[in-house]
Structure 1
Amino acid sequence: MSFKAVIFDLDGTLVNSLDDLAEACNRSLSKFGYPIHPLEAYKKFVGEGAKHLVTQALPPAARKEVEINRLLALFQQDYQTQAAVKTKPYEGVEALLAGLEALGTQKAILSNKPHLLTVQVVGHFLQSYSFHPVFGAREGVLRKPDPAGALEICRAWGLAPDQVLYLGDTAIDMKTATQAGCFPLGAAWGFRPEELNASGARAIVQSPLEVLELVRSGP
Protein backbone atom coordinates (compact mmCIF):
# COMPACT_ATOMS: atom_id res chain seq x y z
CA MET A 1 0.00 0.00 0.00
CA SER A 2 1.38 3.41 -0.95
CA PHE A 3 1.03 6.38 1.38
CA LYS A 4 -1.39 9.19 0.59
CA ALA A 5 0.24 11.90 2.70
CA VAL A 6 3.26 12.81 4.80
CA ILE A 7 3.44 14.64 8.12
CA PHE A 8 6.84 16.22 8.72
CA ASP A 9 8.55 17.33 11.86
CA LEU A 10 10.36 20.63 11.21
CA ASP A 11 13.60 21.16 13.17
CA GLY A 12 16.07 18.35 12.59
CA THR A 13 13.92 16.90 9.81
CA LEU A 14 13.29 19.54 7.15
CA VAL A 15 15.62 22.28 8.37
CA ASN A 16 18.83 22.32 10.38
CA SER A 17 18.08 25.09 12.85
CA LEU A 18 20.39 24.00 15.66
CA ASP A 19 22.91 26.84 15.36
CA ASP A 20 20.30 29.59 15.48
CA LEU A 21 18.44 27.97 18.39
CA ALA A 22 21.64 27.43 20.36
CA GLU A 23 23.03 30.89 19.74
CA ALA A 24 19.75 32.60 20.70
CA CYS A 25 19.56 30.59 23.91
CA ASN A 26 23.22 31.19 24.77
CA ARG A 27 22.83 34.93 24.24
CA SER A 28 19.82 34.90 26.56
CA LEU A 29 21.65 32.87 29.21
CA SER A 30 24.61 35.25 29.06
CA LYS A 31 22.39 38.28 29.60
CA PHE A 32 21.18 36.74 32.85
CA GLY A 33 24.67 35.70 33.93
CA TYR A 34 24.23 31.95 33.41
CA PRO A 35 26.81 29.66 31.78
CA ILE A 36 26.31 28.84 28.12
CA HIS A 37 26.40 25.42 26.41
CA PRO A 38 28.24 23.94 23.42
CA LEU A 39 26.25 23.35 20.24
CA GLU A 40 26.20 19.58 20.75
CA ALA A 41 24.33 19.95 24.06
CA TYR A 42 21.40 21.58 22.29
CA LYS A 43 20.70 18.40 20.34
CA LYS A 44 19.38 17.02 23.64
CA PHE A 45 17.57 20.21 24.67
CA VAL A 46 15.44 20.72 21.55
CA GLY A 47 12.35 18.85 20.40
CA GLU A 48 9.90 19.34 23.26
CA GLY A 49 9.16 23.02 22.81
CA ALA A 50 10.77 26.32 23.74
CA LYS A 51 9.96 26.13 27.44
CA HIS A 52 11.60 22.72 27.73
CA LEU A 53 14.65 24.02 25.86
CA VAL A 54 15.26 26.95 28.21
CA THR A 55 14.51 24.81 31.26
CA GLN A 56 17.19 22.33 30.25
CA ALA A 57 19.61 25.16 29.49
CA LEU A 58 19.28 26.67 32.97
CA PRO A 59 21.40 25.32 35.84
CA PRO A 60 19.25 22.92 37.91
CA ALA A 61 19.22 25.25 40.91
CA ALA A 62 17.75 28.05 38.77
CA ARG A 63 14.85 26.04 37.33
CA LYS A 64 12.12 27.95 39.12
CA GLU A 65 8.97 28.88 37.21
CA VAL A 66 9.60 32.62 37.42
CA GLU A 67 13.15 32.28 36.12
CA ILE A 68 12.16 29.82 33.41
CA ASN A 69 9.50 32.22 32.13
CA ARG A 70 11.90 35.17 32.29
CA LEU A 71 14.48 33.33 30.19
CA LEU A 72 11.79 31.98 27.85
CA ALA A 73 10.53 35.48 27.05
CA LEU A 74 14.04 36.75 26.29
CA PHE A 75 14.91 33.67 24.22
CA GLN A 76 11.76 33.93 22.10
CA GLN A 77 12.31 37.64 21.51
CA ASP A 78 15.90 37.01 20.43
CA TYR A 79 15.19 33.93 18.32
CA GLN A 80 12.31 35.55 16.46
CA THR A 81 14.70 38.08 14.94
CA GLN A 82 17.58 35.62 14.40
CA ALA A 83 15.82 32.47 13.22
CA ALA A 84 17.18 32.56 9.68
CA VAL A 85 20.87 33.39 10.16
CA LYS A 86 22.38 29.91 9.85
CA THR A 87 19.26 27.76 9.49
CA LYS A 88 18.80 26.05 6.13
CA PRO A 89 16.95 23.07 4.66
CA TYR A 90 18.87 19.80 4.76
CA GLU A 91 20.40 18.66 1.50
CA GLY A 92 17.81 16.76 -0.52
CA VAL A 93 14.78 18.18 1.30
CA GLU A 94 13.70 20.49 -1.51
CA ALA A 95 14.05 17.69 -4.07
CA LEU A 96 11.91 15.48 -1.82
CA LEU A 97 9.22 18.14 -1.47
CA ALA A 98 9.19 18.79 -5.22
CA GLY A 99 8.89 15.06 -5.85
CA LEU A 100 5.96 14.74 -3.46
CA GLU A 101 4.21 17.64 -5.15
CA ALA A 102 4.69 15.94 -8.52
CA LEU A 103 3.04 12.83 -7.07
CA GLY A 104 0.16 14.87 -5.64
CA THR A 105 1.00 13.73 -2.11
CA GLN A 106 -0.48 15.85 0.66
CA LYS A 107 1.99 17.36 3.13
CA ALA A 108 1.77 18.89 6.59
CA ILE A 109 4.17 20.07 9.29
CA LEU A 110 3.72 19.30 12.98
CA SER A 111 6.27 20.88 15.32
CA ASN A 112 6.68 21.56 19.02
CA LYS A 113 8.23 24.93 18.15
CA PRO A 114 5.82 27.77 19.06
CA HIS A 115 3.21 28.06 16.33
CA LEU A 116 4.04 31.56 15.09
CA LEU A 117 7.75 30.75 14.93
CA THR A 118 6.96 27.52 13.06
CA VAL A 119 4.96 29.46 10.48
CA GLN A 120 7.75 32.05 10.24
CA VAL A 121 10.48 29.47 9.58
CA VAL A 122 8.38 27.52 7.06
CA GLY A 123 7.44 30.73 5.27
CA HIS A 124 11.07 31.80 5.04
CA PHE A 125 12.71 28.56 3.92
CA LEU A 126 9.98 26.42 2.37
CA GLN A 127 7.64 28.98 0.84
CA SER A 128 7.80 27.29 -2.58
CA TYR A 129 6.01 24.19 -1.30
CA SER A 130 2.45 23.66 -0.11
CA PHE A 131 1.85 22.34 3.40
CA HIS A 132 -1.72 22.04 4.66
CA PRO A 133 -1.73 22.55 7.57
CA VAL A 134 1.38 23.91 9.30
CA PHE A 135 1.06 23.43 13.06
CA GLY A 136 3.44 24.48 15.79
CA ALA A 137 2.71 24.31 19.50
CA ARG A 138 -0.73 25.88 20.00
CA GLU A 139 -2.63 26.95 23.07
CA GLY A 140 -5.06 24.26 24.17
CA VAL A 141 -3.54 21.47 22.05
CA LEU A 142 -1.24 18.94 23.70
CA ARG A 143 2.28 18.88 22.30
CA LYS A 144 3.99 15.86 20.79
CA PRO A 145 4.33 13.03 21.68
CA ASP A 146 0.60 13.34 22.34
CA PRO A 147 -1.04 12.28 19.04
CA ALA A 148 -3.70 15.04 19.07
CA GLY A 149 -2.02 17.20 16.42
CA ALA A 150 -1.28 14.29 14.09
CA LEU A 151 -4.83 13.00 14.39
CA GLU A 152 -6.23 16.48 13.72
CA ILE A 153 -4.21 16.60 10.50
CA CYS A 154 -5.42 13.15 9.41
CA ARG A 155 -9.02 14.19 10.02
CA ALA A 156 -8.52 17.38 8.01
CA TRP A 157 -7.27 15.29 5.11
CA GLY A 158 -10.03 12.72 5.46
CA LEU A 159 -7.43 9.96 5.68
CA ALA A 160 -7.00 7.04 8.04
CA PRO A 161 -3.75 7.38 10.02
CA ASP A 162 -2.32 4.20 8.48
CA GLN A 163 -2.39 5.96 5.09
CA VAL A 164 -0.03 8.62 6.44
CA LEU A 165 3.75 8.50 6.75
CA TYR A 166 5.24 10.50 9.63
CA LEU A 167 8.87 11.62 9.22
CA GLY A 168 10.84 12.84 12.23
CA ASP A 169 14.26 12.71 13.85
CA THR A 170 13.66 12.00 17.55
CA ALA A 171 11.91 9.60 19.91
CA ILE A 172 9.21 12.24 20.36
CA ASP A 173 8.30 11.96 16.69
CA MET A 174 8.33 8.17 16.61
CA LYS A 175 6.09 8.02 19.69
CA THR A 176 3.73 10.59 18.18
CA ALA A 177 3.42 8.61 14.97
CA THR A 178 2.94 5.30 16.77
CA GLN A 179 0.26 6.65 19.09
CA ALA A 180 -1.57 8.28 16.19
CA GLY A 181 -1.44 5.11 14.09
CA CYS A 182 0.73 6.65 11.36
CA PHE A 183 3.84 4.99 9.90
CA PRO A 184 6.84 6.14 12.01
CA LEU A 185 9.79 6.90 9.73
CA GLY A 186 13.09 8.04 11.22
CA ALA A 187 15.33 10.70 9.66
CA ALA A 188 18.93 9.61 10.25
CA TRP A 189 20.31 13.07 9.38
CA GLY A 190 18.56 14.78 12.29
CA PHE A 191 19.39 15.76 15.86
CA ARG A 192 18.99 12.44 17.71
CA PRO A 193 19.13 9.45 15.34
CA GLU A 194 20.33 7.20 18.16
CA GLU A 195 16.79 7.30 19.63
CA LEU A 196 14.88 6.16 16.57
CA ASN A 197 15.03 2.35 16.69
CA ALA A 198 14.21 2.06 20.38
CA SER A 199 11.28 4.47 20.14
CA GLY A 200 9.32 2.69 17.44
CA ALA A 201 10.70 3.65 14.03
CA ARG A 202 9.48 1.08 11.51
CA ALA A 203 12.11 2.25 9.03
CA ILE A 204 14.98 4.75 9.02
CA VAL A 205 16.04 6.67 5.93
CA GLN A 206 19.55 8.00 5.41
CA SER A 207 18.59 10.75 2.97
CA PRO A 208 15.40 12.69 2.16
CA LEU A 209 15.02 11.25 -1.33
CA GLU A 210 14.58 7.75 0.13
CA VAL A 211 11.23 8.97 1.44
CA LEU A 212 9.89 9.25 -2.12
CA GLU A 213 10.32 5.54 -2.74
CA LEU A 214 8.49 4.69 0.47
CA VAL A 215 5.63 6.99 -0.46
CA ARG A 216 5.33 5.36 -3.88
CA SER A 217 5.62 1.73 -2.81
CA GLY A 218 4.64 1.65 0.84
CA PRO A 219 6.49 -0.20 3.61
Structure 2
Amino acid sequence: MQTKAVLFDLDGTLLDTAGDMGAAANHVIQGLGLPPLSDDIIRSTTSDGSYALLQAGIHAALIEQLGLEQLRRQMLDYYALNLCVHTRPYRGIPAVIDWLDARRIPWGIVTNKPSALTLPLLASLPQFARCGVTVSADTLPRKKPHPDPLLYAADCLTVAPGHCLYIGDHQRDVEAGRAAGMATAVAAWGYIAADAVLPLWQADHIIDSVQDFGRWLEDTFDTNC
Protein backbone atom coordinates (compact mmCIF):
# COMPACT_ATOMS: atom_id res chain seq x y z
CA MET A 1 0.00 0.00 0.00
CA GLN A 2 1.06 3.59 -0.55
CA THR A 3 2.32 5.58 2.42
CA LYS A 4 0.15 8.68 2.88
CA ALA A 5 0.96 9.71 6.48
CA VAL A 6 3.82 9.41 8.95
CA LEU A 7 3.51 8.82 12.70
CA PHE A 8 6.50 9.30 14.97
CA ASP A 9 7.50 8.13 18.39
CA LEU A 10 8.82 11.08 20.43
CA ASP A 11 11.76 10.29 22.74
CA GLY A 12 14.65 8.85 20.76
CA THR A 13 12.96 9.43 17.41
CA LEU A 14 12.03 13.10 17.05
CA LEU A 15 13.66 14.45 20.19
CA ASP A 16 16.90 13.74 22.02
CA THR A 17 15.48 13.92 25.54
CA ALA A 18 18.05 11.75 27.30
CA GLY A 19 19.91 14.67 28.87
CA ASP A 20 16.86 15.98 30.69
CA MET A 21 15.40 12.57 31.50
CA GLY A 22 18.77 11.46 32.84
CA ALA A 23 19.20 14.60 34.90
CA ALA A 24 15.80 14.02 36.50
CA ALA A 25 16.64 10.41 37.32
CA ASN A 26 20.03 11.38 38.70
CA HIS A 27 18.41 14.08 40.84
CA VAL A 28 16.57 11.32 42.69
CA ILE A 29 19.41 8.79 42.61
CA GLN A 30 22.07 11.16 43.89
CA GLY A 31 19.64 12.44 46.51
CA LEU A 32 19.80 8.94 47.97
CA GLY A 33 23.59 9.10 48.14
CA LEU A 34 24.04 6.77 45.15
CA PRO A 35 26.34 7.32 42.16
CA PRO A 36 24.69 8.90 39.10
CA LEU A 37 23.82 6.97 35.99
CA SER A 38 26.42 7.19 33.23
CA ASP A 39 25.55 8.81 29.91
CA ASP A 40 25.72 5.39 28.22
CA ILE A 41 23.19 3.88 30.62
CA ILE A 42 20.92 6.90 30.30
CA ARG A 43 20.94 6.79 26.50
CA SER A 44 20.27 3.05 26.32
CA THR A 45 17.49 3.21 28.93
CA THR A 46 15.58 6.45 28.24
CA SER A 47 13.13 4.84 25.80
CA ASP A 48 12.13 2.39 28.54
CA GLY A 49 10.94 5.35 30.62
CA SER A 50 11.22 6.66 34.15
CA TYR A 51 10.81 3.32 35.91
CA ALA A 52 13.72 1.79 34.00
CA LEU A 53 16.00 4.76 34.63
CA LEU A 54 15.36 4.64 38.36
CA GLN A 55 15.77 0.86 38.50
CA ALA A 56 19.09 1.20 36.67
CA GLY A 57 20.49 3.31 39.49
CA ILE A 58 18.70 2.22 42.68
CA HIS A 59 19.01 -1.32 44.01
CA ALA A 60 15.85 -3.35 44.39
CA ALA A 61 15.83 -3.47 48.20
CA LEU A 62 15.92 0.31 48.48
CA ILE A 63 13.21 0.67 45.82
CA GLU A 64 11.02 -1.73 47.80
CA GLN A 65 11.68 0.25 50.99
CA LEU A 66 10.97 3.69 49.51
CA GLY A 67 8.38 2.73 46.90
CA LEU A 68 8.94 2.92 43.17
CA GLU A 69 5.90 5.13 42.57
CA GLN A 70 7.09 7.68 45.14
CA LEU A 71 10.54 7.76 43.57
CA ARG A 72 9.02 8.11 40.11
CA ARG A 73 6.86 11.01 41.28
CA GLN A 74 9.95 12.78 42.61
CA MET A 75 11.70 12.24 39.30
CA LEU A 76 8.78 13.45 37.20
CA ASP A 77 8.21 16.50 39.40
CA TYR A 78 11.82 17.52 38.78
CA TYR A 79 11.58 16.68 35.10
CA ALA A 80 8.41 18.75 34.67
CA LEU A 81 10.34 21.82 35.86
CA ASN A 82 13.27 21.06 33.55
CA LEU A 83 11.64 19.67 30.42
CA CYS A 84 13.65 21.41 27.77
CA VAL A 85 17.05 22.32 29.22
CA HIS A 86 19.07 19.97 27.04
CA THR A 87 16.30 18.49 24.87
CA ARG A 88 16.52 19.23 21.16
CA PRO A 89 15.16 17.75 17.93
CA TYR A 90 17.66 15.38 16.37
CA ARG A 91 19.73 17.05 13.72
CA GLY A 92 17.78 16.91 10.47
CA ILE A 93 14.35 16.42 12.05
CA PRO A 94 13.19 20.04 11.48
CA ALA A 95 14.04 19.62 7.79
CA VAL A 96 12.05 16.37 7.64
CA ILE A 97 9.06 18.07 9.28
CA ASP A 98 9.33 21.04 6.90
CA TRP A 99 9.44 18.64 3.96
CA LEU A 100 6.28 16.87 5.10
CA ASP A 101 4.50 20.16 5.77
CA ALA A 102 5.48 21.63 2.40
CA ARG A 103 3.89 18.64 0.67
CA ARG A 104 0.86 18.60 2.97
CA ILE A 105 1.65 15.07 4.09
CA PRO A 106 -0.17 14.39 7.38
CA TRP A 107 2.03 13.52 10.35
CA GLY A 108 1.62 13.05 14.06
CA ILE A 109 3.19 11.83 17.28
CA VAL A 110 2.33 8.72 19.32
CA THR A 111 4.30 8.45 22.56
CA ASN A 112 4.17 6.68 25.90
CA LYS A 113 5.09 9.94 27.63
CA PRO A 114 2.27 11.31 29.83
CA SER A 115 0.37 14.22 28.32
CA ALA A 116 1.28 16.49 31.25
CA LEU A 117 4.88 16.23 30.01
CA THR A 118 4.33 15.74 26.27
CA LEU A 119 2.18 18.78 25.60
CA PRO A 120 4.27 21.45 27.38
CA LEU A 121 7.43 19.96 25.89
CA LEU A 122 6.08 20.18 22.35
CA ALA A 123 4.70 23.67 23.02
CA SER A 124 8.24 24.83 23.77
CA LEU A 125 9.47 23.63 20.37
CA PRO A 126 7.91 25.65 17.53
CA GLN A 127 8.99 23.08 14.91
CA PHE A 128 6.09 20.88 16.05
CA ALA A 129 3.29 23.45 15.94
CA ARG A 130 1.79 21.86 12.83
CA CYS A 131 1.62 18.34 14.26
CA GLY A 132 -1.65 16.82 13.09
CA VAL A 133 -2.28 14.67 16.17
CA THR A 134 -0.51 13.99 19.46
CA VAL A 135 -1.32 10.80 21.36
CA SER A 136 0.23 10.44 24.81
CA ALA A 137 0.35 7.57 27.29
CA ASP A 138 -2.88 8.68 28.97
CA THR A 139 -4.86 9.83 25.91
CA LEU A 140 -6.56 6.43 25.75
CA PRO A 141 -7.04 3.62 28.28
CA ARG A 142 -4.29 1.58 26.61
CA LYS A 143 -0.83 2.63 25.43
CA LYS A 144 1.83 1.07 23.20
CA PRO A 145 2.51 -1.75 22.45
CA HIS A 146 -1.29 -1.93 22.15
CA PRO A 147 -2.33 -0.69 18.69
CA ASP A 148 -5.14 1.57 19.94
CA PRO A 149 -3.01 4.77 20.12
CA LEU A 150 -1.86 4.30 16.54
CA LEU A 151 -5.34 3.48 15.26
CA TYR A 152 -6.68 6.57 17.03
CA ALA A 153 -3.94 8.73 15.49
CA ALA A 154 -4.67 7.43 12.00
CA ASP A 155 -8.37 8.12 12.49
CA CYS A 156 -7.60 11.70 13.62
CA LEU A 157 -5.54 12.21 10.47
CA THR A 158 -8.31 10.59 8.38
CA VAL A 159 -5.79 8.19 6.85
CA ALA A 160 -6.33 4.43 6.80
CA PRO A 161 -3.86 2.57 9.07
CA GLY A 162 -2.56 0.62 6.11
CA HIS A 163 -1.46 3.89 4.52
CA CYS A 164 0.51 5.02 7.59
CA LEU A 165 4.15 4.53 8.50
CA TYR A 166 5.08 4.42 12.19
CA ILE A 167 8.71 5.01 13.14
CA GLY A 168 10.21 4.58 16.61
CA ASP A 169 13.29 3.42 18.44
CA HIS A 170 11.85 0.64 20.63
CA GLN A 171 10.60 -2.86 19.92
CA ARG A 172 7.19 -1.95 21.33
CA ASP A 173 6.87 0.68 18.58
CA VAL A 174 7.27 -2.00 15.94
CA GLU A 175 4.88 -4.31 17.78
CA ALA A 176 2.25 -1.57 18.03
CA GLY A 177 2.66 -0.58 14.40
CA ARG A 178 2.41 -4.15 13.14
CA ALA A 179 -0.65 -4.80 15.31
CA ALA A 180 -2.26 -1.66 13.85
CA GLY A 181 -1.60 -2.85 10.31
CA MET A 182 0.88 -0.07 9.57
CA ALA A 183 4.25 -0.11 7.89
CA THR A 184 6.96 0.16 10.53
CA ALA A 185 10.47 1.56 10.70
CA VAL A 186 13.16 1.54 13.38
CA ALA A 187 14.85 4.86 14.13
CA ALA A 188 18.28 3.36 14.66
CA TRP A 189 19.68 6.77 15.63
CA GLY A 190 17.64 6.64 18.84
CA TYR A 191 18.03 5.02 22.25
CA ILE A 192 18.84 1.51 21.13
CA ALA A 193 20.21 -0.89 23.74
CA ALA A 194 23.69 -2.20 22.96
CA ASP A 195 22.47 -5.81 22.88
CA ALA A 196 19.43 -5.12 20.66
CA VAL A 197 19.24 -7.24 17.49
CA LEU A 198 17.17 -4.97 15.30
CA PRO A 199 16.27 -7.47 12.55
CA LEU A 200 14.53 -9.57 15.20
CA TRP A 201 12.06 -6.74 15.77
CA GLN A 202 10.62 -7.53 12.30
CA ALA A 203 10.16 -3.93 11.23
CA ASP A 204 9.66 -3.22 7.55
CA HIS A 205 12.62 -0.83 7.54
CA ILE A 206 15.67 -0.13 9.70
CA ILE A 207 16.90 3.41 9.11
CA ASP A 208 20.32 4.40 10.39
CA SER A 209 20.11 8.20 10.47
CA VAL A 210 17.66 11.07 10.19
CA GLN A 211 19.32 12.03 6.92
CA ASP A 212 18.71 8.52 5.57
CA PHE A 213 15.11 8.79 6.70
CA GLY A 214 14.68 12.06 4.81
CA ARG A 215 16.02 10.48 1.66
CA TRP A 216 13.82 7.42 2.19
CA LEU A 217 10.74 9.66 2.51
CA GLU A 218 11.60 11.49 -0.70
CA ASP A 219 12.04 8.23 -2.59
CA THR A 220 8.86 6.75 -1.10
CA PHE A 221 6.60 9.68 -1.87
CA ASP A 222 8.14 10.19 -5.30
CA THR A 223 7.29 6.54 -6.00
CA ASN A 224 3.76 7.03 -4.66
CA CYS A 225 3.24 9.88 -7.09
| Fold agreement, TM-score > 0.5 | yes
Contact 1:187 1:205 in 2 (8 A): yes
Q: Secondary structure at the match of 1:165?
A: strand
Contact 1:20 1:87 in 2 (8 A): yes
Contact 1:34 1:59 in 2 (8 A): no
Amino acid at match of 2:218: E
2:212 pairs with 1:212: no
Q: Secondary structure at the match of 1:64?
A: helix
Match of 2:80 in 1: 80
2:116 pairs with 1:119: no
Give the length in aligned residue pairs. Answer: 218
Unaligned runs of 5+ in 2: none
* Structure 1 residue 57, shift from structure 2 partner: 3.8
2:97 pairs with 1:97: yes
- What does 1:179-190 align with in structure 2 at a 5 Å threshold? 179-190=179-190
Match of 2:173 in 1: 173
Amino acid at match of 2:206: I
Match of 2:45 in 1: 45
The structure-2 alpha-carbon separation of the partners of 1:151 and 1:195, relative to structure 1 and needing over 3 Å to count, comes to farther
Cα distance in 2, alignment partners of residues 186 and 138 from structure 1:
23
Question: Cα RMSD between the aligned structures?
Answer: 2.1
Amino acid at match of 2:183: F
Cα distance in 2, alignment partners of residues 65 and 95 from structure 1:
47
Amino acid at match of 1:73: R
Unaligned runs of 5+ in 1: none
- What does 1:30-69 align with in structure 2 at a 5 Å threshold? 30-64=30-64, 67-69=67-69
Of residues 194, 197, 205 in structure 2, which corresponds to 1:203? 205
Amino acid at match of 1:76: L
Taking only the aligned residue pairs, the percentage that are identical comes to 28
Match of 1:137 in 2: 137
